[in-house]
Structure 1
């Protein structure tokens, strides 16, 4: 089997499991307990939090542990908007992950006006597009760092600078970008950033919302007041350790070779697969991401036939799997609904070989014909 769907989830790394195991077995305590077992767990938790903060360029107290990227996005979008009494206007890009889009839609039930920032044909939000829709009552801007369906990288630092001119905080969903792109919250100029562990090689169920220490946010989960009251619930020490380890491993792995394999794969597909068209920005895209539309060919049939040939890929977001509707990302980029439903996405990591990508290109060409 050739697994090329790492944008959906990645295999758990052995190093991550080994780092987590002591906190699942020997040092299993509740970090909020006031005894030796709990104190040991608390020390491990705070060490992991500090490691995560250092890798993001923030402070340990700004790291809010969550159950994953979806919860982090919900806390950022809903929490920031609900905590700001100045305005009721929320801006999100038209190509966001459903976790952001649905969080914003939820706010509209409580009197917020939600507006989608348009994107160009490559799926990018330009500073000019953001400036055109900002208003005096805008309370939040949310634009992802990289798109999960087409791989386009957004100019988040430029967008944050535009928003800062109006005093508007920016949240970025970095779930797809963390580990393969530089993620420095100070350089990006954002006030909140979401990421998820299972895209990096941790078990599913751990994520982070980095939240600037001065950013007000309304908690969504109430209870024991853990994490400065921002997200109650017993802290997942093992998950935090695993996420810190995964981020460190990812940082130590260069992406230049991965991007080179991506480019070679893209060129081969465009050369050998009839009518194939690349979606997303040609160069400003995730290093392990190649997405195409195949006009005149059923995307779902391609996926089924490729799996039968041992190649696992997808048509886009795993969170929209099974939907009969065309991708909102592709239609926002200007593709018609029929073409959007021919999408095929290949996403891969450092362990994916050139030989595997060559085989995938061969099989795609055979299936498309």
Structure 2
């Protein structure tokens, strides 16, 4: 811009001087995203912000374009009405249309928006389809990859493995099959999987309203215990959302921390010698008794290091044990009560009771033992 005094009516120089002011750029292009977030309650992606550009003059069509920065493809474009933004006009008053630069858009969140770098483009165009002459503002990309979960319960209850918790993941959109997978982390192999229904978790939605599906992220399943789950290996729970009925296809997983089920608890309520008979009573509950139906009580001579005798026993209900150790397999059916006849030559020896669960009728094969403290006996 120049200021000129002249004698000529046509404005050409004549007898005066020109004053040139500092140049002003008319290609300002600014914008800001106020929000680009998921609403778990509605399943919508909410986008709002502003875009002011000098070059928007004469470009009456305002588009919001959703662009996949990972795949470099446009996912969709939406014609929006620009809204009043007095705050923007106050801050950048020197940019054309600053006061009418606002925009907002609600999109239904879908699988195309999950996982990749998603970029919002604000465009002013002179063409109704958004092409022709236009000015763009590219906002920073954002990825929707939130994947959060928690196990409320992962324990043995009676003869079942009880699993409950929640799993919310942006990439679960479009994946309607929810599986809980039991995985042997030691052997690196799957043991079993169960298709489970999801249920409402308003508590999760309240804390994580920005994760897709958080309000319906709950799960609970009881799986019959097998020896593969209680053999001492690290057993891991995987929560999976899949687009395939068998749990394969495209999926998103959450791997919970592994756990080992090796509880082995017991107590002798009674060990009494009466003449040549030994009365033995107590209980023995152990996770590793799964698949071992033969319960033996073995009398062992700790003095000579020899087995004296063994007896196959029937288990006895012990609700008192189940009440205290309900998270140990077979706790409710862990009792034993028997009498053994012994030779008087064992008098003065230290006798030890062993409780054994075995998969063999002889008491050998695969087994799990509990060795009670030895007792010095007097046999008359």
- Normalising by structure 2, report the TM-score: 0.22
- Normalising by structure 1, report the TM-score: 0.22
- Mark the structure with the bigger radius of gyration: 2
Ranked by relative contact order (alpha carbons within 8 Å, sequence separation 6 or more), the top structure is: 1
Please state which structure has a larger fraction of its residues in strand. 2
